[in-house]
Amino acid sequence: MESGRNLLLFKYGGNAMTDPDLQIEILRNICLLKKKGHSLVIVHGGGPFIKITLGEAGIESEFIDGQRKTTPRAMKYVEMALKGRVNGSLVSILNGMGYKAVGLSGKDGQMVLAEKRMHQRKENGKSISVDLGQVGDVVEVDPGLIYLLLDNDYLPVITCIASDSSGTDYNINADLFAGHIAGNLSAEQYVVLTDVDGLMLDKNDPGSLIREIKLSELQELKDNGVIQGGMIPKVDSCRIALEKGAVSARIINGTVPGQIAEIFEGGDPGTVIRK
């Protein structure tokens, strides 16, 4: 397969996963693009399902600056939630629609090499390192297995777990994980599904939607507090994707499935980010 040719990568996660009817509608809209000749890859997280699974196991979630600390015991249940609960469900739905979906994590075929993340935080004006347990960062992506599946008409569905060189497993932020894969696949378009209409100058004013922005302009919006909270890793994932080889990145509202088709039918939903 020629790198990037007609290849679309969708990052799917968050609250758009918790409504079964909405989930089916989103997946149906994504897969319509496969019928139109695009190669598709879906990358997903599953925060709400991790929370449920840890709760059922009696493990209390600890968050440090918005990041879930992952103990070795918790890691087992994180993997259970992402691979068993979420990935398995998505694959079943897609196969039921007539597609040949294959469920994967970054561990499969050594697709993604990870390393332990040490979180940096400021305390009393000093930067200190905080151990988040088995939370990792992406070091390297080998897209060979993904291309092999795409070449044989399979639809890869990948979740955000990967191992380091010694075989230790890590939970990786799904947005950043997806950005690395999109970049290494030189995706024609990297599409992040979220629960708002895109990047806004004022998050409380839908009319302030930024239709298009250059990569070089993002840092100023971060510094000014325009990009904040859960939007930070989504924008960072777009930056990673573009810097590593994706052609364009777009943030759209995944709770409005029609926006997916709109992108490829002459519409201009959400926020597009270009180099």
- Domain ranges for the chain: 7-274
DSSP E strand boundaries for the chain: 7-12, 39-44, 63-64, 67-68, 101-105, 112-123, 126-141, 155-159, 161-163, 169-172, 189-194, 212-214, 249-253, 271-274
The CATH number given to 7-274 is 3.40.1160.10
202 by DSSP, 3-state: which?
Answer: coil
**What would the two tokens of residue 43 be?**
């990358």
d(CA 13, CA 22): 12
Q: One digit per residue, pLDDT tens: the chain, 275 residues? A: 444 468 999 999 877 788 899 999 999 999 999 988 999 999 999 999 999 999 999 998 888 877 888 999 999 999 999 999 999 999 999 999 999 999 999 999 999 999 999 888 877 888 888 889 999 999 999 999 999 999 999 999 999 999 999 999 999 999 999 999 999 999 999 999 998 889 898 888 888 999 999 999 988 888 888 888 888 899 999 999 999 999 999 999 989 988 998 888 877 899 999 98
206 by DSSP, 3-state: which?
Answer: helix
d(CA 271, CA 249): 8
Q: Are 156 and 149 in contact (CB under 8 A)?
A: yes
